[in-house]
Structure 1
Amino acid sequence: MLKTNSLRGHVALIVSAALLSVTAIMLLYAEGRATLLRDRHAADQLASAQELLTTVTDLDAALLRRIASDLANQPAVDAVLGGTDPAAMAELQDMVAAAVDATGAALGVTVLADDGTVVARLGMAAVGPAEGDVAVNGLGLGAAGDLRLAAVEPVRQGNRVTGQVVASLDLVDRARRFLRGASALGVISVDGTVRTTGPVPEGFSTLTDGCCAGAARSVGFGEDGRRYLALAIPMRDDQGDLLAEFVSLRDVTASSQRHFIYGSTAAVMLILAIMLTLGLLMHVLRVSFRPLGAVVRLLQQMAEGATTLTLKPMQTSDEIQALIDTVERVRAGQEARDRLLKLDTQLAAARNVQQSLVPSDFDLSPRLSLFGAMIPAEEVGGDFFDLFEMQDGRIAILIADVSGKGIGPALFAARAAMMLRANAGRYTDAADIVSATNDALCDGNTEDLFISMFLALLDPATGQGQCVNCGHCQPFLITPDHKARHVTPPNNIVLGAFDDYPFQPAEIAIARDETLLIYSDGFDEAQNPAGELLGDARASDMAAAFGRTDPQALVEGILSGIAGFSDGASQADDITLLAVQRLQPDT
């Protein structure tokens, strides 16, 4: 027991009170940090949803414009506008069904006469509840209050406009493909009407109460033991007028429970650590003051006349610094946990953006066999590739490597991919597409990021086309007789460095059974445990060994060869491979 009137007792009481105060402060700090993390998580979710929705809207707008343009140029549309033609109507229905299968979107196509009369409604939806409605490009509200994205293309016979083709889709239904973690999606119109894809809890009304103020917002609420996060994003038409709010409801119960468990565990561990420290402090004080007590007893005995007593040799230690180090370790552990939680949220958003860039459909033409793969070196890579069909039937094939790694380069890659697709819909010349994309990337490039890229536009029928190399690796052209040589177009500067640069294109041709292999520098710069690079010669031999092998087997074989060469060495850079093989006409 400690005597309160002793020096040791006073020190113990003061230190105990100080430690209890520190405990209370750190618990309050932990609670405040948890609240701040929840707010930041909601803000990150809102920003990620806004960016993803903008990307989806832009990409689908380009898709609808292409579909409407293709249909407007079909003779079957002229036949339907000219009168009742069952064969032409059936042909249009087949075309729309093929577009639905190819895009995976619930497309709706409406054919209007030049006076606005509805001639035909095809697909999964329709524009306008009655005849005479005027369809407009961009976002709009449907008759059922649904948020629709539409593209209008005039039908011409010579210089005369004979009608319109309107391609549209339900934006909420389309967004479900990308926001798969949401419990429900929907639209809140300016009059407060709510339309959702599924049932919502009663607490969802807190989101509708503040509807249509024109700013994105998030609301968290709990109900029946569950925790929800609701997001509202304003949607505007091309004139900037507010149409409605796109809403997303996500069940975050599991995440909230994890955070609660982490916080509770940290609090309990902190309290246990403080209690242990107090126990150690009592022991240290007892040990530290033992020599002083021995001296006092010796002095008392000497006062009583004893003069032959001596002190035994004793050693003392200062444990105060150890206590300070313990508290500092607890604080450092809490700070490290907060950083890891924030980094995990950012990496999850970046992974979602990057996954949306990687194409999964390689069946673009019966005359071309295509396959690609990307193996990032870290959780978020700096490479990306894309391939899509242009309006004139050519196949656009590109591969790019963004400087740096992490969140910033991943978002820069997403921006570049979106711009390349958009510019491919505006221009037909490869140099014009690259030049427009470069100028847009240079604008506002405060991070000084840049992209090396190789773009090829190929005619599937002839295997001929254009290509532009912007500081990227020179592709291999692999012949059936197991030979590989570099394709060497003019080497332009990387994208994002200087605007108004005159990019130089080159002609490219792939003969039947030849394969064009485009790759990033992670291929030829792969390292083994000794630090030796794979090199261009080994890369050429590895590519040539596959000869007439189909692109998927080629890509998988090269990845296997890289793994064998690396022999367990860590991957230093992203590895991206994209192979294009021209097939025989009867293949």
Structure 2
Amino acid sequence: MAKGVLGLQGKFIVALLVAAALPFLVGLAVFETVGYRHLLEERGRYHQMEALTLVRALDQAADAVGGQIQTWLSAQPALVGFAITKNKETAGMAAEDIRRETLRLDELWASLPSEDPMLRSVLENPGSASLARFRSLHPAVAEILATDAHGRLISATGKSSDLDQADEDWWQKGAAMGKGGIWTDVLRFDASSDVFSQDVVLPLYDGETLAGVVKVSVDVTSLFAQLGFDGEAAGERWEIVLPDGWVLASSRSDFQPRTDQFPTETVSLMTKQGRGWTVTGYHHGEDRMTGFVALAPEGGNPNAYVLFSSRRDDVVAPLQKDFLWLGIAGASLLLLCALTGFYLIHSGILAPLAALGNAARSISATARLHHPVHGDESRIALQREQAEDDLRKIEAIRTGDEVEALAGDLAVMTSRVLRYQRELETEVAAKTAVIREDLEMAREFQNALMPSHYPEVPSSSTETRLRLKFSHFYQPASTVGGDFFDLIELDNGRAGILIADVMGH
């Protein structure tokens, strides 16, 4: 019987591959989407934490400046002494009068020329000199302001935008702090120093009485540069971005301030989320995974964003490599399971079924409906030996299941068929011998009925030139034929011939 395109073995292989590969491919696809997204989110959270670390580093650096100015003021009491002196000048005045006088001077402040005595009294005094010396020792400090107990500017390293600082948020926080307190503001644009800075604020005390407030404006770009970044070779980058998208500071060695700008959609996302991560590109079209943290006053809009980023390909490549190895390992395991399954199926099902098929074909080959011709005896003997060998094989099948039961039934049937065939052949051979003997006897009897001597017509005693002589050759189609003939001399010159065909051949 002709086989289909796929035999039973091929169908089992296809079934095994489908049964094993389909769940694997589905699992791989799910892992590729869900797992890959999860790992990507983890890397994004790592970038966000790096940005937050930079924020804390900036805060710690600014706090360090606050600690240094606090130590400086304790070691150099000129500013505190000057503040106490200035407070004594207004000690007898009512608070309303002090406030009115401060506002009047504040209106004049912006238009004062550099040589004006009032301006020089603020910039050239023992307190200002002490602050100037501190600033010279700390390059990251952009400006230092000091006020008296009423918020009026008394000392500074440079002319500020206002004389009256009492309405400023930093002054109110400083005046409300206890002795030894320090407060660090978020990044802001300082109009007085014309830089983006973090303000460090601390109060000045005369015993337990507030003597004034000091504000140290720390230039964030200088502070940023002092931190030291070593990740450029690895494609890592730390940056400070303004709300309009312009980059204020970057760890890139070739960076120039306010020359690169982030896309508007990225800035909108950072404004909306405050902190998080995204994939964006702004410098030479390079896609980067970016973690960000917004710098904003409590309840206010962000003043800037601190970012940490790395090349997207550097982040994704290890993940893709891990997935590749996972796929290879899974495919290898799948192939091993498929081979193991095929081995079990082949040894437990396919091989026994093949043995059953071979036995059936061997038995079929030994069945004959005619007597073998001379020369076929060896071939028939080989076929019979093959059938006997296949019978022993199916009797040896031990699978412990329905295949073994089927093999047992077929073995019993095969044994009976072979035995019946042997008995039938023996019986047929015996009967054939008897029939051959009978046919041989009939042939001899038939030959005996045939004439063996023929007359000469006319007889040899008669002188004649013409004489009939007879002979015959008789060959029946089988052992015995149905033909009969005879020759009878009628007289000296005539003979009669009798021919009969009983069988009709």
Task: Give TM-score, length-normalised by structure 1.
Answer: 0.43
Higher helix share: 2
Larger Rg belongs to: 2
Task: Give TM-score, length-normalised by structure 2.
Answer: 0.49
Whose relative contact order is higher, 1 or 2, with alpha carbons under 8 Å and at least 6 apart? Answer: 2
Higher strand share: 1
